[in-house]
Amino acid sequence: MAGLLAGHIAAVTGGGSGIGQGICQAYAREGARVVVLDVNLEGANETIGLIAAAGGKASAVALDVTDRAACKAAAADIAKGGNVSVLVNNAGINRRNPITGDPAAVAKDWDDILGINLDGVFNVTHAFLEQLRATRGRIVNIGSIQSFVHASWPNSAAYTTSKHGVLGFTRALAAELGKDGVRVNAIGPGLIETRINAAARANNPDMVAAVMRHTPLNRTGKPEDVAGPAVFLASDMSSYVTGCIIMADGGFRTL
Is 27 tagged catalytic? no
Which one is catalytic: 128, 159, 169, 252? Answer: 159
Binding mask 205-234 for ligand NAD (x = CB under 6 A): ------------------------------
Residues 58 to 77 in contact with ligand NAD, rule: CB under 6 A: 63-66
Burial (CB count <10 Å: 0-12, 13-18, 19+), residue 250: buried
> What is the closest distance, in whole angstroms, from the C-beta atom of residue 26 to ligand NAD in the complex?
13
Binding mask 13-52 for ligand NAD (x = CB under 6 A): xx-xxxxx-----------------xxx--x---------
Binding mask 85-104 for ligand NAD (x = CB under 6 A): -----xxxxx----------
Q: With binding defined as CB under 6 A, does residue 194 bind ligand NAD?
A: yes
Q: How far apart are CA 251 and CA 229, in angstroms?
A: 14
Q: How far apart are CA 199 and CA 186, in angstroms?
A: 26
Residue type at 140 in one-letter notation: V
- Contact positions vs ligand NAD (CB under 6 A): 13-14, 16-20, 38-40, 43, 63-66, 90-94, 116, 120, 142, 144, 189, 191-192, 194-197
